[in-house]
Amino acid sequence: MPVSIKGSGGGGVTLDAGAAASNTTLTLPNVNGTVLQSGTAVTPAQGGTGLTSPGTSGNVLTSNGSAWTSAAPPVINTQTFDIVGPNTWTKPSGYSANSRVFIQAWAGGGSGARHTTAASASGGGGGGYSERWVNLSQLGATETVTIGAGGVSRTGSNQSGDQGGNTSVTITTGGTFTVYGGAGGIQAGNGGGGGGQLSAASGFTPGLPNFLTDAGGARQGQGDTTTQNDGAAMFHGGGGGYTTNAPGKNSVWGGGGGGGAGASGATVAGTSINGGSGGTGGATGTAGTQPAGGGGGGTTTSGAGGAGRVIITVFPA
């Protein structure tokens, strides 16, 4: 019974199944982009010259218009950067210029405040989150990825927390984009605001700020039991907890906020679905987790913020 074989370029041929495979000459439409699965018993001919299907089973034969090459099919390439400071992303080989690239970035979380009065030792805000899709052709052979540090722990008497560092990724065609760190907890004041996309965070600002332009402003939290604006918007970190027994605020993509020290013991840290959790507040505040968690407030030592992170994923075209 005749067997039809069709190349991905659209051309087709018919083989007589009764013929011996080793004696069969098969001419394929050698058009740029045509792909033939390797590991078969077919012996294609190119320009009158037989070419036995090479490579390991599962490889693909790809035409460039004049020749066939055999290689393993491309897979998803993921590079993760956790080290604070400049890092280098290297473009993977074997991907077309039109391959899509997904860039995800988290900034550093702010550290908690340190204050001898528990109710005045507020938590740090979670770092912000941002993402971008680009074509592989927009990226150079290497690009610089800078990871923001978490805010440093406070041990001195009555000190506000430290701002989390910004995280940035350069794009050869498209400029640098930046995501902003969470604010440090304010001693004898408000909890730190969550980081955002477009500007640096600060202490809590009441009201309903603009979703895009306020730094964590869209969903930063004061942490008061009566005023709880969680970091529930996608890109913003949770606010740090403030006042007696105030928990840190939650987030979806940004880091969770750190809890305030609390007059009657440790307080609850804010959580995040996709970022790091905030630290708990207490006599010794605990650190926020990477990426982007805010540190807890403390009466002797505050918790540090969690560092940022970048994940760059390349998908086959």
Beta bridge partners of 63: 68
Residues 6+ apart with CB under 8 A from 92: 77, 314
pLDDT by residue (tens digit) across 259-294? 888 766 667 888 899 999 999 999 999 999 999 999
pTM tops 0.85, yes or no: no
Give me the sheet containing 129-135, strands edge to edge. 77-81, 309-314, 100-106, 129-135
Among 213, 154, 211, smallest CA distance to 186 is for 154
**CA–CA gap between residue 30 and residue 32 (Å, rounded):** 7
Q: Where are the beta strands (DSSP E) in the chain?
A: 2-6, 12-16, 26-27, 35-37, 44-46, 49-50, 60-63, 68-71, 77-81, 85-90, 100-106, 129-135, 142-147, 167-171, 175-179, 282-284, 298-301, 309-314
H helix intervals, the chain: none
Query: Which of residues 266 and 88 earns the better pLDDT score?
Result: 88
Phi/psi at 23 (5° precision): -105, 5
What is the length of the chain? 317
pLDDT surpasses 50 at 41 = no
pLDDT by residue (tens digit) across 229-253? 444 445 678 888 775 567 788 888 8
pLDDT surpasses 80 at 9 = no
Please say whether the beta carbons of 294 and 305 come within 8 A. Answer: yes
User: For the purposes of burial, counting CB atoms within 10 Å of the CB of 285, is it exposed (0-12), middle (13-18) or buried (19 or more)?
Assistant: buried
Beta pairing class for 142-147 and 282-284? unpaired
- The average pLDDT across 35-61 equals 54
Q: What is the pLDDT of residue 10?
A: 52
pLDDT surpasses 60 at 21 = no
